[in-house]
Chain A
Amino acid sequence: MSHVSLKNLKKSYDGKTDVLAGINLEIEDGEFVVLVGPSGCGKSTLLRMLSGLEAISGGDLEIDHARVNDLPPAQRGIAMVFQSYALYPHMNVYKNMAFGLKIHGASKDEIDRRIKHAASILKIDHLLTRLPRELSGGQRQRVAIGRAIVREPKLFLFDEPLSNLDAALRVQTRLEIAKLHRDLNATIVYVTHDQVEAMTLGDKIVVMHDGHIQQAGTPLELYQRPANLFVATFIGSPKMNLLEGVVAEASATELSVTLAGGQLLKAEVDASRATVGDRVTVGIRAEHLWENNEGSERFTGTVNLVEHLGEANYLYVTLSTGQDIVVRGNGEREVELGQTLNMSAPAASFHVFDRDGQAFHRLKPGNLRSSKG
Chain B
Amino acid sequence: MQHKATRYAGSAFTHVILAGYSILALFPIVLIAINAFKDRASIFDSPLSLPNSESWSLIGFEKAMKNAHFFSFFGNSMIVTVTSLFFILLFGAMAAWALSEYKFRGSRWLLAFFAFGIMVPIRLGTVSILQIMVSLNLVNTLTALVLVYIAQGLPLAIMILSEFMQQLPKELKEAARCDGVGEFKIFFQVILPLIRPAVATVAVFTMVPIWNDLWFPLILAPGEETQTITLGVQQFIGQYATDWNAVLASLSLAVLPVLVLYMFFSRQLIRGITAGAVK
Taking beta carbons and an 8 Å cutoff, which residues of A are in contact with B?
51-53, 72-75, 78-80, 82-84, 86-90, 99-100, 103-104, 133, 147, 151
Contact = CB atoms under 8 A, between A and B. Distances in A.
Nearest to B196: A90
A82 B181 contact: no
B175 A72 contact: no
A86 B189 CA distance: 15
B279 A99 contact: no
B224 interface: no
Contact of B174 (A53, A75, A100, A133): A53
Contacts of A80: 174-175, 178
Contacts of B174: 53, 80, 82, 86
Which size bracket describes the interface of B in this complex?
Answer: 20 to 34
A73 B275 CA distance: 32
A103 B190 contact: no
A86 B190 CA distance: 11
Contacts of A88: 172, 175-176, 190
Contacts of B275: 133
Contact of A100 (B172, B179, B194, B279): B179
Contacts of A82: 171, 174-175
Contacts of B181: 74, 99-100, 103
B169 interface: yes
A100 B178 CA distance: 8
A86 B177 contact: no
Contacts of A86: 169, 171-172, 174-175
A73 B190 CA distance: 18
Nearest to A132: B279
Contact of B180 (A74, A83, A87, A89): A74
B177 A72 contact: yes
Contacts of A133: 275, 278-279
A80 B171 CA distance: 10
A231 B181 CA distance: 40
Nearest to B275: A133
Contacts, number: 61
B182 to A, nearest CB: 8
Main secondary structure of the interface of B (DSSP, over half): helix
B123 interface: no
Contact of A84 (B171, B176, B179, B193): B171
Given A90-B194, A133-B279, A53 B169 contact: no
A85 B264 CA distance: 33
Contact of A74 (B178, B190, B278, B279): B178
Interface string B108-142: 00000000000000000000000000000000000
B185 interface: yes
B156 to A, nearest CB: 25
Most chain A CB neighbours (cut-off 10 Å) among B176, B178, B182, B190: B178
A51 B178 contact: yes
Interface in B159-197: 169, 171-172, 174-182, 185, 189-190, 193-194
A53 B178 contact: yes
Closest 9 CB pairs of A and B: A74-B180, A100-B179, A86-B171, A86-B175, A82-B171, A90-B193, A73-B178, A80-B178, A84-B171
A328 B278 CA distance: 47
Most chain A CB neighbours (cut-off 10 Å) among B176, B179, B190: B179
A99 B179 contact: yes
Contacts of A90: 193-194
A74 B177 CA distance: 7
A72 B181 CA distance: 11
A367 B240 CA distance: 111
A118 to B, nearest CB: 14
Contacts of A147: 175, 179
Nearest to B192: A90
B180 A104 contact: yes
A17 B6 CA distance: 58
Nearest to A88: B190
Nearest to A74: B180
A94 to B, nearest CB: 15
Contacts of B180: 73-75, 100, 103-104
Contacts of B190: 88
Contacts of B179: 74, 99-100, 103, 147, 151
Contacts of A99: 176, 179, 181, 189
Given A90-B194, A103-B185, A133-B279, A73 B172 contact: no
